[in-house]
Chain A
Amino acid sequence: MAIDTEPAAATPPAQPPAAAPKDLVMRLWRGNASGGRFVEYRLEPQEGEVVLDVVHRIQASQAPDLAVRWNCKAGKCGSCSAEVNGRPALMCMTRMSTLPADEPITISPMRTFPIMRDLATDVSYNYEIAKLIPAFKPRPRDPDGLYRMAQVDIERGQEFHKCIECFLCQNVCHVIRDHEDNKPRYAGPRFFVRLAELEMHPLDTLDRRDYIRRVMGLGYCNITKCCTEVCPEEIHITDNAIIPLKERVVDAHYDPIAWLGRKIGRRPAPLPAAQAGEYTGAAHAQPAAGPAPGPGDHAPARSESGTGG
């Protein structure tokens, strides 16, 4: 992998005079599909900024060709996903004041997707999966031309509809983060949310359970909740979408004793933590600069081995 881990570049500058505002030190991954490295930028801090503001200032003043996706800068479009100090997040909703002030701040692209350039990744996998989802098929309207649904019956669906398709859940899902070869047979958390939304839609008439099991690869998910932890919309992906979906799929395919067991309140046991990938809540809170996401490398060393933490 082409990673620049030159310690010299990360050496802290001499302390400035106490009165002067201390410069921010930002380490941004620069490169393309064939390689790259972290490049350090220094600039003055400004009041109330989010990470994306700082990235924009770097772009405007020091790196005009820095590739970064963004649209709304308000947490509504899900374009500016990245890994900030090793933690997957929306850059527009990560306030600088929440990051350690005395250390360089490292921003790298989402690791699960191939690099396009700098912080922009090729997320087309998600759009390909989206094409495979069997579409909504509503029942006919009431005789007066309307649909009637109770608010209580749509609230779960509305939770799923909050998804802004930032793909951070896909990014942290170890089924594809660490195993590129699973991508063709695994829809990932974003699309389990989508499927759950369809399955629980009061008007929908299609039975997708067999398809979810066979084609969407729901069985690969072992409920480690990495996706739920990073969801900026706070959708309970695992508890409210994936587990109910697994139960429905199992209902359709397995024996009645298991069904009865679930009815009386047992939940499928999660797999051992060893298989859970690296995004396991508190364990991940400690920042790690992490290695560069290498060219076409979807299983680089874990962030614990990074140099900047």
Chain B
Amino acid sequence: MTDTERHDFDVVVIGAGGAGLRAAIEARQMGARTALVCKSLLGKAHTVMAEGGIAAALGSVWPQDNWEVHFRDTMRGGKMLNNWRMAQIHALEAPDRVLELEEWGALFDRTPDGRILQRDFGGHRYARLAHVGDRTGLEMIRALQHRAVSIGIDVFMECKIVRLLQDPRGAVNGAVGFWRDSGSFVTFGAKAVVLATGGVGKAWKFTTNSWECTGDGMALALWAGADLIDMEAIQFHPTGMVWPPSARGLLVTEGVRGDGGVLLNRDGERFMFNYISPFFAAETAATIEEADQWYANKVDFRRPPELLPRDEVARAINSEVKAGRGSPHGGVYLDIASRRTPEEIRRLLPSMYHQFKELADVDITTTPMEVGPTCHYSMGGVRVEADTEATTIPGLYAAGEVAGGMHGSNRLGGNSLSDLVVFGRRAGRSAAEHAMQTPGDRVISEAQVAEVTRHATSYFDNKGTENPYAVHHDLQETMQSLVGIIRVESELLEAEDKLAELQDRASKCTVEGGVRFNPGWHLALDLESMLAVSNCTTLSAIARRESRGGHTREDYPGFRPEFENVNMVTRLVDGKYVVVQEPKPQMPDELAKLFEEEAH
């Protein structure tokens, strides 16, 4: 295997969604020789599916908005589990990153005086999301993609990274992958590697996530010895399509509610008023009359409960359906038709109009949508240092959904796109600086490369009956039913056992056909990542005996003081997954004051 194709770079970025593109751009602009490696074609990453907008306190609609308000909203939305420093950096830098996208060609919707228009979203005090109708992610990825191409970044498309490479001291010095088309292996030598591979939604049955979201970066980090944090925090977006079956889980943007849409049960009741938790009662409208006045006057009125953070809304929908007040296909109604004119709906929500028309035969300008919770986002991820995005392994950085900390136990809508560019840029910068301080070429261990390729191709030698598609199907069923939106210890323990069985079955998967563009083989390798991450999620979920944000325990409802200041850290020790509780970083007094002031 010593004749493997080899490329050497200063910085290798794995993943070409918003975070990976922004990291690669930054590293390249810093003068580092930079490679961008992605599992799909360039411009197809899951970022294109982001709809509603990018959160930044630009203050162009509500001048009262500023970074402190955004910071506070983000922390409260995350139920205070967020890494405070990441939330602060994010709120401070997001406006500059949005303006930068505009400088690279993005065309955000405008205010009457020509500035960037901002839209309402759940958990945000003011209209804060810069957007392009309901296809903001596409706009963002294209602006970044064009920028990356124009500055000559080397892009390696349809290349799946299987393992990171490390020097004898453990520092990351490269990665091994294969071309999906030819199946031949390729080694990247690197002075620094940035993980920007996104989330792991494909481990669940009903998900908004695209094919690529198999937790690759989290698993690569884990296998290299890095820490993951708060893996129990999985966001179930309240509004996914529930019908037809094949479209189940597809995202229905929160922008529908931001633009006035309301949630109704079978009886036509705006049930969200029955689910206002004490944590948010002071800032949420108590009556329909008050809620409806808020859209035009955010100073004197409080936010409608439909715009509570996503974890709150998802749990409420789940409860309504369980109580027998759901829609015919097991969701609830999301009604924009009675709240906006058909012209407004088509202008504000063109993709939603198109999606329901094409896939469900539903005209959302006349008919309410049927929606229900769907697995959307992993708040947890690779543990990083807030300012530099350095992981616990030298030479390895992480940004975007693959990293943990920024969003605490629940992410606010719109904070993901801003996260990608804020921390993508910082990760690219840190990686380039690290590379420049690292003299000489990296010495890659041929034995490591050979071991990775031997392992990856071993699936062709298996002579069993296990099929990767069947194992994936069963993994999705397991995570959906046992590690879903509402969790309980007995089921989590059952999931642990099932995951062990699935791990065993996955290792015996037999791949038919050859190495050339063979999705069965690709899935067998993606399963390794999904299983590793699912194990961490389940272990963390067992350990956190409280309910917080995206982690809801039926047997431990509500916050518990002993977990308030705790990150759940998962890592591999001697080939076994372990979870330990570590204190989360404490915010300085001047920031803590922002929350005291709001308490009364």
Give the B-binding residues of A (Cβ under 8 A). 32, 46-50, 53, 59-61, 64-79, 93, 95, 116-118, 120, 122-123, 127, 130-131, 133, 135-136, 138, 141, 145-151, 154, 157-158, 161-165, 198, 201
B509-568 residues with Cβ-Cβ distance < 8 A to A are 511-514, 516-521
Q: How far is the CA of A77 from the CA of B49 in the complex (A)?
A: 7
Given A66-B519, A71-B212, A116-B181; A50-B44 close (CB under 8 Å): no
Q: How far is the CA of A140 from the CA of B323 in the complex (A)?
A: 58
A21 CB, nearest partner CB in chain B, Å: 15
Complex interface bits, B203-239 against A, C-beta within 8 A gives 1, otherwise 0: 0000000111000000000000000000000000000
Given A117-B516, A149-B114; A72-B103 close (CB under 8 Å): no
Cβ-closest chain A residue relative to B145: A130
Which B residues are in CB contact (< 8 Å) with A74?
A: 49, 247, 250-251, 355
Q: List 5 A-B contacts (CB under 8 A).
A: A48-B243, A59-B519, A77-B49, A138-B105, A162-B138
Q: How far is the CA of A138 from the CA of B354 in the complex (A)?
A: 32
CB-based contact B351/A64 at 8 Å: no
Interface: B343 (CB within 8 A): no
Q: How far is the CA of A72 from the CA of B387 in the complex (A)?
A: 32
CB-based contact A60/B246 at 8 Å: no
A127 contacts which of B40, B42, B354 (Cβ < 8 Å)? B42
Complex interface bits, B485-528 against A, C-beta within 8 A gives 1, otherwise 0: 00000000000000000000000000111101111110000000
Interface: B99 (CB within 8 A): yes
Given A48-B244, A146-B115, A149-B110; A161-B44 close (CB under 8 Å): no
Q: How far is the CA of A103 from the CA of B215 in the complex (A)?
A: 40
Given A48-B246, A93-B359, A136-B146; A73-B519 close (CB under 8 Å): no
Given A48-B245, A77-B48; A123-B473 close (CB under 8 Å): no
Give the A-binding residues of B (Cβ under 8 A). 40-46, 48-49, 99, 102-105, 107, 109-110, 113-115, 117, 132-133, 135, 137-139, 142, 146-147, 149-150, 155, 157, 181, 210-212, 243-247, 250-251, 351, 354-355, 358-360, 467-470, 473, 511-514, 516-521
Q: How far is the CA of A95 from the CA of B246 in the complex (A)?
A: 10
CB-based contact A65/B520 at 8 Å: yes
Cβ-closest chain B residue relative to A60: B469
Given A67-B519, A79-B40; A95-B358 close (CB under 8 Å): yes
Q: How far is the CA of A146 from the CA of B359 in the complex (A)?
A: 40
A286 CB, nearest partner CB in chain B, Å: 22
CB-based contact A164/B110 at 8 Å: no
Q: How far is the CA of A151 from the CA of B105 in the complex (A)?
A: 15
A64 contacts which of B113, B244, B519 (Cβ < 8 Å)? B519
Which B residues are in CB contact (< 8 Å) with A141?
A: 99, 103
CB-based contact B135/A148 at 8 Å: no
Which A residues are in CB contact (< 8 Å) with B146?
A: 133, 135-136
CB-based contact B518/A48 at 8 Å: no
Residue in A93, A123, A136 whose Cβ sees the most chain B Cβ within 10 Å: A136
CB-based contact A164/B41 at 8 Å: no
Given contacts A72-B44, A162-B138, A164-B48, 10 further A-B pairs with CB under 8 A are A48-B246, A64-B467, A72-B49, A75-B355, A76-B351, A122-B181, A136-B146, A148-B113, A151-B109, A158-B133
Cβ-closest chain A residue relative to B105: A136
Q: How far is the CA of A60 from the CA of B469 in the complex (A)?
A: 5
CB-based contact B512/A65 at 8 Å: yes
Q: How far is the CA of A308 from the CA of B149 in the complex (A)?
A: 42
CB-based contact B105/A201 at 8 Å: yes
Which A residues are in CB contact (< 8 Å) with B511?
A: 64-65
Which B residues are in CB contact (< 8 Å) with A164?
A: 48, 138
Which B residues are in CB contact (< 8 Å) with A154?
A: 107, 110
A144 CB, nearest partner CB in chain B, Å: 10
Cβ-closest chain A residue relative to B106: A161
CB-based contact B181/A136 at 8 Å: no
CB-based contact A151/B181 at 8 Å: no
CB-based contact A158/B107 at 8 Å: yes
CB-based contact B44/A78 at 8 Å: yes
Cβ-closest chain B residue relative to A48: B244
B183 CB, nearest partner CB in chain A, Å: 10
Which B residues are in CB contact (< 8 Å) with A75?
A: 354-355, 358
Which A residues are in CB contact (< 8 Å) with B110?
A: 149-151, 154
Q: How far is the CA of A74 from the CA of B135 in the complex (A)?
A: 12
CB-based contact B246/A148 at 8 Å: no
Given A65-B513, A69-B41; A93-B358 close (CB under 8 Å): yes
Given A64-B467, A64-B469, A158-B132; A127-B157 close (CB under 8 Å): yes
A149 CB, nearest partner CB in chain B, Å: 5
Q: How far is the CA of A138 from the CA of B107 in the complex (A)?
A: 12
Which B residues are in CB contact (< 8 Å) with A95?
A: 358-359
